Amino acid sequence: MIKVIGLTGGIGSGKSTIANFFKEFGVPVYIADDEAKKVMQSKEIIEAIKTTFGPEIFENDILNRGKLAEIVFNDKDKLTQLNAIVHPAVKKDFDVWLAQNKDHQYVVYEAAILFESGRYKDCDIIITVTAPEEVRINRVLKRDNTTREHVLSRMQMQWNDEKRISRSNFVINNTNLKNAKEEVVKILKILNFKQKQS
């Protein structure tokens, strides 16, 4: 029976880097944020977003992600409304993807808000990726060309590390890439992962 590894961590913790290590070892990875962006291009979702948030966040019928992000990351209720539109569609998409990868021993479901969205309940194993706050802030500043205040407000919208760790099976400290990769290897060994021979 296929097992789902939930991979999570706060903004700037380096979840994508860890997800790529799993990919290197042959574990299929589903990046929830990336897939949500694709799902949000469907007519049905666009209509629901337009109805909930108004047509002014669209330009020539194309969703302005920046405007939407500004609304939801400054208002928890609005974020909840957006998640109620997007999460069921992502879940449906993941179920299809899971069926396509059913011959694998493990798959990884990577999501920043694994706990907040309730999706952790669908995972057999949960890994939290951590890094010191300053390291995380600097990573996001470099990556997103944004402000420190914006990064901090995003952090406040998410669970803190202590809360995540208390509900996780494994924790990977992602400050040193070599050590982080070794942690992935260690976890796969504990899970008795059998690498597929291609």
- 117 marked as part of a ligand binding site: no
Instruction: Measure the CA–CA gap between 62 and 58, rounded to whole angstroms.
Output: 5
Q: What is the full DSSP assignment across 37-100? A: HHHTTSHHHHHHHHHHH-GGGEETTEE-HHHHHHHHTT-HHHHHHHHHHHHHHHHHHHHHHHHH
> Any binding-site annotation on 17?
yes
168 annotated ligand-binding residue: no
* CA 118/CA 90 separation, integer angstroms: 13
CB 27 within 8 A of CB 107: yes
DSSP conformation class of 10:
-
CB atoms inside a 10 Å sphere around CB 11: 18
16 is in an annotated binding site: yes
Known binding residues are 12-17
Annotated binding site for ATP: 12-17
